[in-house]
Amino acid sequence: MSENVYLGIDIGTSGIRSNVFDIKGNQIGFDYKEYPTICTERGMLELDPDVVFKSLIEVVKNSIDKCKLSFNDIRSIGMSSQMHSFLAVDRNGNNLTNVITWGDTRSIGEAKFIEKNYDCNKLYRKTGCRVQHPMYPLSNILWVKNKMPRVFKNTYKFVTIKEYIIFKLSGKFLIDVTDASAMGCLNINNFQWDEYILKNILQIDSDRFGEVKECTYVVPGIKSEYARQMGIKIDTPLVIGSGDGIMANIGCGGFDDTSMSCTIGTSGALRIAVNKPLFDEEQRTWCYCFTKDIWVAGGAINNGGIVLKYFRNQFRQQFEKEASEAKYDNIYHLFDYYASQIDPGSNGLTFLPFITGERAPGWNADATGSLVGLRFMHDKRHIIRASMEGVIYNMYSIYRMIEKIDGNVKQIIANGGYANSDIWLQIQADIFNKEIAVAGITEASVFGAAYTGMVAVGDIRSLKDPIPKMKPVKVIKPNSKNVEVYKDMYKTFLNYYTTILEKQLF
C-alpha cells in the first residue's frame, strides 16, 4: 500500500482486538481473539497476562496479514485497554500474580477497612474514585499485601495489563494518566501519585508504580523479536494510549461537554468530558483525569454484555445449534431475534443484572443477579430481553445521577458491541426517553486508540478534531408507547433493587 495506515489495539476483559484504519477512519482489516477469564473461587476474576500478551502478538500479525500490508505501511500503533486491572511484577517484568481485573471482588474486606479507617469523602475529592470499593486496585493491592505478603515484598512494580504489555514490548514501565487515576492512588488535581494514600494505606513509595505519561506519548523502541513476530518495524511509533472508556469517547467524537458517550461491551459506562473535576456528593460517580485541562466524569457497571455471555456459555451448544438453523452467524444475533419477539417489559419479568457484583450506581460489590417475577409462561426469549432491559435500567440510573451534577448533556452517543444491536438500542431509547445517536465507528475504543496514534505522529492536529467518519450514522428515536411501559417497569426495577439489595438509589 502507498498510503499510511494506523493500527489500534484494544485489550479487553474477554478478548483482544487489533484493527487497521486509514487516515479517514475506514477499517481496512481486523482480528479478534477471545481468551478465558480465571474464576476458581468466589469473587475471583483474573486473566493470565502471558495469554493476553501472546494473543496480542497474534491479532496484530493477523490483522496486518489480512490486509496484505507491508511492515512499512504501519504509521503508528495506539493502545486501549480495560481499566482498573493490575498485576504484580518483579524487577525483570516477570509476573508474580495474574491480572486482577475490575470484576474481582476478593478485596471486599480491604475495601471495608479503607471505608472504616479513612475519610473516604476526602479521598474521593483527591482521586475521583470511590476508593472503598473493591473495583479499584487500591484495595486489591492491599489485599495482596494481606493475603500474599511474600509476593507483596518481592514486587518491584504494580502495573496495569497495558503497562505489562508495553514493558514486554519495550522494556519500559509506563502508565498513561487516565489509567493511573483509575488506580485510586493518583491525585487528579496535581496528576501525581498521592503521598498520603501510598504512605498511610499501602505503606509503599511511588516508585512501586510506573512513570505517568500523557496518552499521546510515544514509547521508544519495540524489541526486535516482537516486531518481527508482529510484522512491523522496530521503530514503528507505539503510542501509550489510554483506558478503553476514554478511548471510546475519543473514537465516537464525544469529546466536548455536551456529548455523553455510552459504551456497553463486557461491562458498560456513561462518560462526559469536563474542564474541571466533577464530583457527586454521595460519591456515586467517578472522575478521572485525561490531560492537564480535561477530566472525564461518569459511572460504570460491571454487568453489560457479560450478562448475555453468561447465558451463552451456560447453553452454548443449544444456542449454536439454533443460530445455525436460523442462519445467524453468531449467537448474539439469535439473542437479538429472541428479544425482538417479546413485548417491552418482558411480560413482567425483571432482571437485576448483578452477576459480578455492582459498581455504579449503588456500589454494592456483594450484589447478586436476580430474576424477579418469573412465571410459567416465560421462556428463554423473555429472559434474554429482560437481561437487556436490566442492563439499560442500571445505565439509566447512572444517567440520572450524571444529569444531576452536569445538566449540560445534549447528545448520547452509543458505541461498543451493543451499538450493533438494533433491539438493544431501541430498548435504551425507550427507557431513557431520549434519542440515541449511533457512533459512525461502533468499536470506538479501538478506533480511539488508532486515532490517538494519528495525533501522536502529527497526522491529525488534535484529539478534539473529529474526522467525518466519527460522526453518528443514525439516530434511534424513542417509541412513545414503549416509553410509558418502561416508566412503570423502571419503577418496578427500583422497588426490587431496594427490597433485594436493601439500598435506595433515589
pLDDT by residue, tens only, the chain of 506 residues: 457 899 999 999 999 999 999 999 999 999 999 999 999 999 999 999 999 999 999 999 999 999 987 767 899 999 999 999 999 999 999 999 999 999 999 999 999 999 999 999 999 999 999 999 999 999 999 999 999 999 999 999 999 999 999 999 999 999 999 999 999 999 999 999 999 999 999 999 999 999 999 999 999 889 999 999 999 999 999 999 999 999 999 998 877 778 999 999 999 999 999 999 999 999 999 999 998 889 999 999 999 999 999 999 999 999 999 999 999 999 999 999 999 999 999 999 999 999 999 999 999 999 999 999 999 999 999 999 999 999 999 999 999 999 999 888 889 999 999 999 999 999 999 999 999 999 988 889 999 999 999 999 999 999 888 888 888 999 999 999 999 999 999 999 999 999 998 877 87
Report yes or no on whether pTM surpasses 0.85.
yes
Q: Which residues contact 223 (CB under 8 A, 6 or more apart)?
A: 168, 169, 170, 171, 234
Q: Are 28 and 22 in contact (CB under 8 A)?
A: yes
List beta partners, residue 19: 8, 30
Give me the phi and psi of 293, to 5 degrees please: -130, 15
Q: What is the pLDDT of residue 374?
A: 97
The rounded distance, in Å, linking the Cα atoms of 116 and 126 is: 18
Instruction: Give, in order, the Cα–Cα distances in Å from 178 to each of 138, 175, 188, 240.
Output: 15, 8, 9, 11
List beta partners, residue 239: 78, 218
Other Cβ atoms within 10 Å of 213 Cβ, number: 16
Q: Which residue has the cell 421462556?
A: 379
Q: What is the pLDDT of residue 506?
A: 74
Q: What is the pLDDT of residue 2?
A: 52
The rounded distance, in Å, linking the Cα atoms of 71 and 235 is: 11
**Domains delineated in the chain:** 5-253+440-470 (3.30.420.40), 305-438+473-501 (3.30.420.40)
The rounded distance, in Å, linking the Cα atoms of 124 and 277 is: 11
Q: Which residue has the cell 484493527?
A: 19
For the residues of 39-105, what is the DSSP string, one character each? --STT--EE-HHHHHHHHHHHHHHHHHHTT--TTSEEEEEEEE-SS-BEEE-TT--BSS-EE-TT--
The rounded distance, in Å, linking the Cα atoms of 121 and 64 is: 48
Q: Which residues contact 113 (CB under 8 A, 6 or more apart)?
A: 142
